């Protein structure tokens, strides 16, 4: 981290716009409270300068990339948190329901496992011939497949809603 | 449906633009006949007001969401209809070939099963250990996987055409 | 190829813009050297006129579409070349690392198998019940699945980087 580094308003806006475009393109949404969200984007830029990667602005990173991989934004926990709480841990990302005012943003409990269990989770091996480690969901509209605890809020390909997914495997 | 509701030209245009962007981003296309298409988009907005969801503007919805899930636009039948007929049942969406003038839009026969058989189809269970219920296709360019009767016209990820897909499973 | 055909600067720019948008939307990048890249895009348009499809501008096409399928741009070899060399064979597409100046574009050796072996490769059949022919990768952030030798540089859905992928199958 150099003394001269300056995170200008232009840099924050540029990353904000890029994250917003990327989010919308795949059925995700930034928190519509623009000032709040810009604060988190600034946090991402600070962490990028400090650690070399955009660690979650609401969690304490170690500075060891391999140990922090799961909390590089978007973190491994965003999507399940969107399903269960309507927002990610930071509330940088919110669900359709929150965006449309049908649900309030609530405090999101920390879902990241403690350090010892994290390692074990990462070692989840493919099950040759057997059942996959996570359910595979299929979008009934376009056939998109993804492996996660629950289907996404919106199909990133055809924008059909969660209820159009079926368990495929 | 409230008496005061007004579906303004602005609302129609806003949804038109959004559907158009979403379609193009994933290799789909709205019907290029803009006035015709705006009429269908108005139908979607009318249904959204009436039922709370955007039921297909060319089919009779029941108003019971669970029973109408398969005909919420884009419907479960759009993609196979695009493969077989170059357009969906309403001709809201058309294929590459139709867009490029290589194929005419034809009348699309109703592919939706009668009510009794619909229920059975929805119950299609994952086949543990066995063959999947639908073929899985792989884009030879980018590795995208999807499960559907036939591969899509264009890979939604890398835009390679149908002929670049291979049967993966 | 007709005598009258003219590939105008407007046509080149239009295709350039479209390929650029499609690339960025899915985590790919055109070579940032705009003049160099425009030359390749012109080559794609010349091949489209000559053969009816956009064969790779840096390889010799046969004119028989079925035999050239693997070298229609983007070719079947782009993604592995991006992983191994930071660019495709033509350097039309480059990796994140090259775009960010962390890696130089290097000469990319021809990865396309000789004609006899190509046919055999294309015949790769699905393995019913057994292991798939290629590893299936899962994005730990969004659950995206793809089947390829190595995971992509960036998840086309949520833009998480390669290191966030795990072997799923």
Task: Considering only residues A3 and C32, tell me which one the structure prediction assigns the higher pLDDT.
Answer: C32
Q: Give residue-wise pLDDT tens across range A112-156.
A: 999 888 865 554 555 555 667 899 999 999 999 999 999 999 999
**Which tokens hold the place of B86?**
């170059």
Model pLDDT, residue A1: 45
Mean pLDDT of A41-65: 97
Question: Residue B106 above 90 pLDDT?
Answer: no
Measured between CB atoms, which of A158, A160, A168 is closest to B147? A168
Model pLDDT, residue B63: 96
Model pLDDT, residue C91: 97
Give the rounded percent of residues in chain C with a pLDDT score beyond 90: 80
- CB-CB under 8 Å, A143 with B26: no
> Dihedral sign, CA of A130, A164, B108, B38?
negative
Taking CB atoms and an 8 Å cutoff, what residues of chain A touch B25? Answer: 25
Q: Give residue-wise pLDDT tens across range C102-119.
A: 988 889 999 999 988 886
The distance of B68 to chain C (nearest Cα, Å) reads 28
- CB-CB under 8 Å, C148 with B145: no
What number of C-beta contacts closer than 8 Å exist between B and C? Answer: 62
pTM value is 0.88
Model pLDDT, residue A29: 96
Measured between CB atoms, which of B131, B140, B145 is closest to C145? B145
Model pLDDT, residue B133: 82
Taking CB atoms and an 8 Å cutoff, what residues of chain B touch C74? Answer: 141-142, 158-160
CB-based contact C57:C90 (threshold 8 Å): yes
Give the residue among A147, C144, A161, C142 at the shortest CA–CA distance from B126: A147
Q: Which residue, among B144, B147, B162, would best test binding to A if mutated, counting the most A CBs under 10 Å from its CB?
A: B147
Question: Residue A3 above 70 pLDDT?
Answer: no
Give the residue among C14, C21, C24, C22 at the shortest CA–CA distance from C159: C24
DSSP code per residue over chain A: --TT----HHHHHHHHHHHHHHHHHTT-EE-S-HHHHHHHHHHHHHHHHHHSS-B-TTS---S-HHHHGGGBSSPTTHHHHHHHHSB-TTSSEE-HHHHTTSS--------SPPHHHHHHHHT----SSS--SS-EEEETTT-BEEESSS--SB-TTT--BGGGEEE--
- CB-CB under 8 Å, A129 with B28: no
Point out the residues of chain C with pLDDT beneath 50: 1-2, 123
Residue of chain B minimizing CA distance to A168: B126
Question: Residue A164 above 50 pLDDT?
Answer: yes
Model pLDDT, residue C129: 57
Question: Residue A93 above 60 pLDDT?
Answer: yes
- CB-CB under 8 Å, B134 with A143: yes
**Residue A6's Cα: distance from chain center in Å?**
26
Taking CB atoms and an 8 Å cutoff, what residues of chain B touch A158? Answer: 22, 26, 28, 74, 156
Taking CB atoms and an 8 Å cutoff, what residues of chain B touch C147? Answer: 138, 143, 145, 168
Taking CB atoms and an 8 Å cutoff, what residues of chain A touch C136? Answer: 126
Band of the pLDDT at B39, cuts 50, 70, 90? very high
Residue of chain A minimizing CA distance to B149: A143
Measured between CB atoms, which of C142, C157, C163 is closest to A69? C163
- ipTM associated with this complex: 0.87
Model pLDDT, residue B1: 46
Measured between CB atoms, which of B136, B142, B169 is closest to C79? B142
Task: Provide the mean pLDDT of chain B.
Answer: 90
- CB-CB under 8 Å, B78 with A141: yes
Q: Give residue-wise pLDDT tens across range C120-134.
A: 555 455 555 566 789
**Which tokens hold the place of B101?**
């003038």
Model pLDDT, residue A123: 46
Task: Considering only residues B2 and B118, tell me which one the structure prediction assigns the higher pLDDT.
Answer: B118
Band of the pLDDT at B130, cuts 50, 70, 90? low
Model pLDDT, residue B131: 65
Long-range contacts of C11-20 (CB under 8 A, 24+ apart): C11/C45, C12/C38, C12/C41, C12/C42, C12/C45, C13/C38, C15/C41, C15/C44, C15/C45, C16/C41
- CB-CB under 8 Å, B129 with A129: yes
SS (H, E, C) B53-74: CCECCCCCCCCCHHHHHHHECC
Task: Provide the mean pLDDT of chain C.
Answer: 90
Measured between CB atoms, which of A76, A125, A136 is closest to C140? A76
Residue of chain A minimizing CA distance to B133: A168
Residue A161: C-alpha distances to residues A62, A104, A167 (Å) = 37, 19, 14
Q: In 3-state terms, what secondary structure has residue C165?
A: strand
CA angle B35, B36, B37 (to 5 degrees): 90
Residue with tokens 């000032």: A35
- CB-CB under 8 Å, C159 with A124: no
């Amino acid at each position: 981290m150099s003394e001269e580094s300056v995170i200008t308003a232009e840099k924050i806006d540029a990353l904000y716009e890029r994250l917003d475009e990327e989010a919308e393109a795949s059925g995700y949404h930034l928190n519509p409270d623009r000032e709040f969200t810009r604060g988190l984007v600034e946090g991402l830029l600070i962490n990028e300068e400090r650690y070399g990667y955009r660690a979650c602005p609401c969690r304490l990173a170690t500075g060891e990339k391999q140990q922090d991989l799961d909390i590089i934004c978007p973190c491994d926990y965003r999507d399940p948190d969107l399903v269960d709480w309507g927002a990610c841990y930071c509330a940088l990302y919110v669900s359709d329901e929150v965006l449309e005012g049908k649900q309030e943003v609530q405090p999101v409990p920390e879902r990241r496992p403690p350090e010892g269990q994290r390692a074990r989770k990462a070692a989840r091996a493919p099950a040759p011939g057997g059942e996959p480690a996570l359910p595979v969901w299929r979008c009934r509209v376009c056939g998109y497949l993804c492996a996660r605890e629950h289907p996404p809020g919106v199909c990133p390909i055809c924008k059909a809603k969660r209820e159009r997914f079926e368990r495929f495997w």
